[in-house]
Structure 1
């Protein structure tokens, strides 16, 4: 039987293509702007084709820096952002998976109270507790340091909740089999739970990496040296109040570079990421 296709069959594709165009066109314009000289961008006559200054602008952006606002090269900013994003993602996963393991598989006083205390912190984002957190970091002398950038953001009630819900679906037979084999609690965790949690870990890693990479308010508060600023802060500092002083080709190149690591992480871990979000049977 031949299925007759109507105009409504193509409607989802049209909507999808329109959405891709709306999202991708500003990115393309930013890339084109990063390949032209400042005069072409400022006079409003910039064409929609790449210009002749691609290598020159990107070399200056990554290795030299800007001349009128932040003098730090973007390569250093990207390194700071990468360290921050990786530390936050790995730290959140490590702490959350161990916390969930303890809550599910160990019996100790106030076990559920501890879980609900962790859960309640979902209602206390960084913006709500920003002053006491900053005060503690400043008193410990962690301003302008990687520890100050990452440690206050590592705890994650969301990841703990997700791991707990997954661990509760693991059959009790696996626990009993591990006990019969003489495996300790940590051996059961390492040999059984971790392999079963790979897809969940991958999905959380992608989410938490992007969360750490896009942080703006916290790095803005605790970094005073330009050598410690992240790429998100760098983009803001490049766009100065006087429009004529903004080096738009450098700012646009920085914006394009800032998108690359999160995009690469999503592409490289796409299969595990999607599997970790939609898989129901482990």
Structure 2
């Protein structure tokens, strides 16, 4: 192995180890997956544009070692579309805890990097169905993921699509509220994580878990993503959270047909609402 190759391998291992340690997860497979999947295979050719503050800075050359840090890398700098922050995704993946053999639906695939990580974690007996609304990115993801068994990338709008039955729904674009069809796709004990944007000044990652009694909800961390086509229209909100602090207090999510909003409502939409009351 060349010196450059050795340095790259060492950088990738150190990056994966750091992500696993900081993510809050306990599954050693997360570190293994990040160490095994080359980030450069899911990006445009280098040199790359890395977001620092509010502007992009070009890497000095096309050595992939520059990518093995907790940085946002541009997929399309003109539109502000990036390969997401690795530590955030490591924490999200730890939160949804993909298990071998599970079925994952990912909404917002980009060029497929985190799709590949998810595919590694569910293994040959599992599956990942990815939706990407941008046709060019979808084609790139299809090429990049061709060698991964059980992965299907669909070029289309997930907000109007029929999602397959899923153990995990992993959403990579900001939504005002998750469409009811996404909740319906969750299997018993299924988990959904998504960036909740109920107001311009509120951005939270929310974890939903389906139980027999309903949907438990928990705010995981601050999170800001580009809007999800078809699911980010805040004008459809009937009652937004009173504040960011109120949004953090969500504990359950209800379909209005199952239970109408009551005094515990934190945010209300035409077909669902968030409550501060935990499932009984």
TM-score by length of 2: 0.22
Structure whose CA Rg is larger: 1
Q: Which has the higher contact order (CA 8 A, sep 6+)?
A: 1
Q: Which has the higher helix share?
A: 1
TM-score by length of 1: 0.22
